[in-house]
Structure 1
């Protein structure tokens, strides 16, 4: 169910961003699209968290990469949909309407037991965990309630550092990702072929990240993929630009996995929402940067590259989470690693 829903949201949200955001260059705000753009944040963040919070340390990386792969399949389907439906109004309907099926699929996805325990809903969490234990052939167990902790992302020094640095990383990842995605006609290929190739290159990029995040860690993977996406992503050669797109997608894949491991359960959804807001801000500003070519032709490329490299540098300031258990409360985050 998670796979089907993630594919449909990948198709819809990628289409929504690539169709609607550039309209700001052509005449201002597109009011009918505002509800979709607002819902972009919860639709894009809640689903990965729903999968991540149900698995143990050993399977967390695999689950995060697998969920992300279906987003890339949705991206590839977007190229086919755009080729078949040329009028942008109807294309918007075509890529978002299938999301109604996602609502049906989500009826089979249980609420996160970690979140339920953190909110004091122990009986409901215990029921879901018992069902999961029976499916895996495990014995029954008891669940102890967690103490409630104020949901403040900037309450303690470590949380402030995590929130500030991860916010910069999310902004840079989205800024460079959508900047590349909306520059489809700048590499000498047709728009439809570029979108399809950009979707295809995401698959091996994510497979490579499955190996890298377990070998060199989350922090190094996040930082270097952002830096390399800035270096390679905005070159004039198509092959080099496609390589940069692969690094950009690898950075976006890693940031979902990494951020979900940085925040405690009681703050995880709040933290993802805050970071996703900054990512949407980066995505909204990305198409406007193309207007800077009137000042200097290379200024948009320099801007995209600079933001990606700076956000990669910010990732070096975050703590490493490789093979670490998901923190449950703020006190777990504040403990020295």
Structure 2
């Protein structure tokens, strides 16, 4: 008997699983509130150089004052970073003689800037414009560096200390560091606290996905994965509404961080993963949670059918006394191939998703409505991918969504910019495909790694994805070399990662692997959903301990 059979005895997918998905929806909603917050707290308002009060002539309009002191760009707008060294009185009489910015009579803004928008952002707080505009984008890169570190840290810690405990730790630190970020008195303090916040938030993300999958039976894994992903889009939409109502960046940070307090309270009702408990040999605790699941799902006979002794036999087969690390992701041949292919796939998924998101132009709307539309576009893409994954499988879905993303980017590269409407439609389609690829990757990754390495595997893939997310905005700077080079790079990465996805194992209708031996020998064996008691892989011998498996691989290597 395997754990999948035990979960079916406890009701498979019932009210207990629905309650877990509801509890885990909160961290999924919180994540985009922070991951995409930079669009609003670091928005660059219209600005120009500040003019000293003593330099201002009396009885002059604001427009004439700007003509006297602020030069104009070639497009006719007032310069954001330059001012005249001396007032140009003649411009009030002869407007057409406005001199260009490269004139020796201009200088940088020595007295700071005046911001013409009511929204108060970190840009206005610390004057992150002109010569310091790089610090604005650097704050996002620093945040993603923290997220990258969090993928490694929480992947290891949640496999060692449990999903539930580390989810609580992630909630607590997210709440504390979010409030510290809101109270920052300097750019340095803000950047450091946001980076540490990224570590904690990444813990929320990877643990939530793992828990939602490990409590759900095989038949409903796709549904659980898509529902979890949908809550991200809900948070994305909510962010535009909250940001519209709160214009001060400090209070906006407080508003999006406060739900973490509810998350801390929700841990009281959230059960630990029974798969992880069995792998760690905590059979009695696993049995307690499974009894609770069975009672909630109205399966009163569970206790008589599944005893602690039965779970102990399952736990003994899962090699409970072996400690695993990220090195084990490359220990055996199948895992090594899977991990290398998964890294390329995840890099392409994240790189193309953030690359498209950063390059898609709006629909002629303000930033709030544009953000709202982008979030709403994700929902039909995720709903559609639910049916596709269940019909054609995970591997082909993952590969073709990436290839279609590459095709969308490539087509937009050759379409003239004068055909703006066509480019916008194709760009939106590309974003939909990239979002579908992201949704598939999140569920797919939880299925091809065994329980003993699942959190490490997700952490490893999340690490690669966050590295890609950090590099995606920097790729835009390549347009100084060739205007089409960024799009060519995004297209090429998506194409290569899509082709690499074909090398990953198919996991549709297969049991979640529990041990490394399951991956080596059983991954890819399809389950008969009509007669689940007739499993094609049941005749495979008992699970081989990791040490024995390592010796076998070593012997084969020596022979070669």
TM range (shorter): over 0.9
Which of 447, 452, 457 does residue 266 from structure 1 map onto? 452
> 1:322 corresponds to which residue?
508
Which of 232, 254, 266 does residue 440 from structure 2 map onto? 254
> 2:134 corresponds to which residue?
26
> 2:268 corresponds to which residue?
107
> Contact 2:450 / 2:514 at 8 angstroms: preserved in 1?
yes
Cα distance change of structure 1 residues 74 and 223 upon mapping to structure 2, 3 Å threshold: same
2:115 matches 1:7 = no
Cα distance change of structure 1 residues 82 and 301 upon mapping to structure 2, 3 Å threshold: farther
After superposition, where does 1:1-337 map in structure 2 within 5 Å? 1-15=23-37, 26-27=134-135, 28=138, 29=142, 30-138=191-299, 139-140=302-303, 141-142=306-307, 143-144=311-312, 145=315, 146-148=318-320, 149-151=322-324, 152-185=328-361, 189-233=365-409, 235=412, 237-335=423-521, 337=524
Cα distance change of structure 1 residues 74 and 245 upon mapping to structure 2, 3 Å threshold: same
> Contact 2:28 / 2:208 at 8 angstroms: preserved in 1?
yes
> Contact 1:51 / 1:63 at 8 angstroms: preserved in 2?
yes
- 2:483 and 2:469 mapped to 1: Cα distance? 21
Higher fraction of helix:
1
> Contact 1:4 / 1:105 at 8 angstroms: preserved in 2?
no
CA RMSD for the aligned pairs?
Answer: 2.4
Q: CA deviation at 1:93?
A: 3.6
- 1:10 and 1:277 mapped to 2: Cα distance? 17
> Contact 1:233 / 1:242 at 8 angstroms: preserved in 2?
no
Alignment partner of 2:504: what SS?
A: coil
Aligned residues: 337
> Contact 2:244 / 2:368 at 8 angstroms: preserved in 1?
yes
Q: CA deviation at 1:112?
A: 0.6
Q: CA deviation at 1:308?
A: 1.3
Cα distance change of structure 1 residues 193 and 114 upon mapping to structure 2, 3 Å threshold: same
Q: CA deviation at 1:9?
A: 2.8
- 1:241 and 1:300 mapped to 2: Cα distance? 14
- 2:385 and 2:444 mapped to 1: Cα distance? 12
What does the per-residue CA deviation read over 1:169-224, in whole Å, with 9 as the maximum and x for residues that have no partner?
A: 11111111122223354665533222211111111111111100010000000011
Which protein has greater RCO, CA pairs closer than 8 Å, 6+ apart? Answer: 1
Q: Which entry has the higher C-alpha Rg, 1 or 2? A: 2
Alignment partner of 2:37: what SS?
A: helix
TM-score (norm 1): 0.92
Any stretches of 5+ residues in structure 1 without a counterpart? none
- 2:355 and 2:40 mapped to 1: Cα distance? 10
